[in-house]
Structure 1
Amino acid sequence: LQDFCVADNMFVNGFVCKDPKEVTAEDFFLAAKLDMPRDTKMSKVGSIVTLLNVMRIPGLNTLGISLARIDYAPLGENPPHTHPRASEILTVLEGTLYVGFVTSNPDNKLFWKVLNKGDVFVFPQGLIHFQFNPNPYKPAVAIAGLSSQNPGAITIANAVFGSKPPISDDVLAKAFQVEKKTVDWLQAQFWADNHN
């Protein structure tokens, strides 16, 4: 057992540990400027997620934690998504957010709250969840802690309608009980990634 395993540049379901003799304080540091607002104007969904994970801070390797700042434009959202390898705890720093998650089949129960500055909400690992800024005039900001150094993110619309190659429109038309032309239209959209 050891105190830490700073990521080296080789990837095998995680990173190989750097030789402890070569580890420096820089392996545990990032000048991320999390106090600075992010520009949400170019985001189709009105949010920018700034994720600090093992890819950005090698010292996070094997520590089971990462952090994200999420900036929301007025009426911006972090669209429905999952983290396959992490639970999340979200704290609102500024503004108001409507947040929620949906339980697994067969119930698909929605748990939701409206959060104000200082409020906290937890999203269980792997469940579809979202955040939405209901204010048409003011932005919102949140910080999220995640229980993995590499939590992953699967944005539902991007995965379903923006996969490469595309999922057959026959499959999606039947699954969503819509016409193929609706699926074709959805697949033709530019599904933007709000993570940077």
Structure 2
Amino acid sequence: MKGVHFLVAFVLLALAFTFASASDPSPLQDFCVAINNTNDGGMFFNSLSVFFGMYSSVFVNGKFCKDPKLATANDFFFPGLNIPGNTANQLGSKVTLVTVEQILGLNTLGISLARLDFAPYGGLNPPHTHPRATEILVVLEGTLYVGFVTSNPDNRLITKVLYPGDVFVFPIGLIHFQFNIGNTNAVAFSGLSSQNPGLIPIANAVFGSNPPINPDVLAKAFQLDKTVVTYLQSRF
């Protein structure tokens, strides 16, 4: 009976370690090109199945693996990041993401990329977070005012004005932004430490949730009049 208890404890510890990991899991093979048709998925080990000596077809980061012998160059390719994004919108910015959804070969590799275009003075990538990735940004054109806010209890704002060739890092999970303070278009590229970094725009999440958060909650949280909260919710 003690052996069974030890076995259960070992499995729970293994699962806890797995869920506590702060980054994408390391690949166990050269690559794992993602596919959406599970009937064609490759067979690979599930952590529990390995422990009990069984094989199982499971999800890896939400994606099945294509047979590596069937992989082609197009599985690792994405064209068009030389094309400027359309910034004719309310925010004056456009983010073009290249994640595992665009390059299936990124599956399990723990990286992704984005091109950021900003309209002349005022183009904004609004405050947001990436829950699964640190971001490193390099400016190619223009002048960007960027920054992030540290977590409690300090909530300290760390900012910098960036010029072409400058690089800035936004730590994982922290609220950050980019704002064009120049009179010309601005262009930047970002690398992210996850194949699927996720995106939580702060204003949209708070005032545009579906269904809406009770206005009384937001009014008290932000110390605003309830009519202001309902107006903001209508805007999002």
TM-score by length of 2: 0.77
Does structure 1 residue 70 correspond to structure 2 residue 116?
Answer: yes
CA RMSD of aligned residues (A): 1.1
Aligned-partner Cα distance in 1 for 2:92–2:220: 30
**Structure 1 residue 12: Cα displacement:** 6.1
Matching residue within 197, 205, 208 for 1:162: 208
Residues of 2 paired with 1:126 and 1:14: CA distance? Answer: 21
**Secondary structure in 1 aligned to 2:132?**
coil
By how many angstroms is 1:21 displaced?
2.2
1:6 is matched with 33
Task: Give the one of 164, 167, 188 matched to 1:142.
Answer: 188
Look up the match of 1:194. none
Tell me whether 1:25 sits opposite 2:52 in the alignment.
Answer: no
Secondary structure, counterpart of 1:178 in structure 2: coil
Q: Work out which structure has the larger RCO, using CA pairs closer than 8 Å and 6 or more positions apart in sequence.
A: 1
Give, in angstroms, the shift of residue 22 of structure 1.
1.9
Q: How does 1:1-196 map to 2 (within 5 A)?
A: 1-9=28-36, 13-31=61-79, 33-41=80-88, 43-74=89-120, 75-135=122-182, 137-189=183-235, 191=236
CA contact (8 A) 2:148 2:175 kept: yes
What secondary structure, in the 3-state scheme, does the structure 1 residue paired with 2:35 have?
Answer: strand
Structure with higher helix content: 2
CA distance in 2, matches of 1:17, 1:140: 38
In the comparison of the two structures, how many residue pairs are matched?
187
Instruction: Assess if the C-alpha contact under 8 Å between 2:124 and 2:180 holds in 1.
Output: yes
What residue identity is the alignment partner of 1:5? C
Contact 1:92/1:143 (8 A) holds in 2: yes
User: 8 Å contact 1:51–1:69 — kept in the other structure?
Assistant: yes
CA contact (8 A) 1:14 1:61 kept: no
SS across alignment from 2:155 = coil
In 2, Cα distance between the equivalents of 1:188 and 1:176?
17
Q: Secondary structure at the match of 1:145?
A: strand
SS of residue in 2 equivalent to 1:35: coil
Could you list the runs of 5+ residues in structure 2 that have no partner in the other structure? 1-27, 39-58
How far apart, CA to CA, are the structure 2 residues paired with 1:163 and 1:122?
28
Instruction: State the alpha-carbon separation in 2 of the partners of residues 34 and 24 from structure 1.
Output: 21
Deviations 1:125-155, CA, capped at 9 Å, x for gaps: 00000000012x3110000000000000100
Same amino acid, percent of matched pairs: 70
TM-score, normalised by the number of residues in structure 1:
0.92
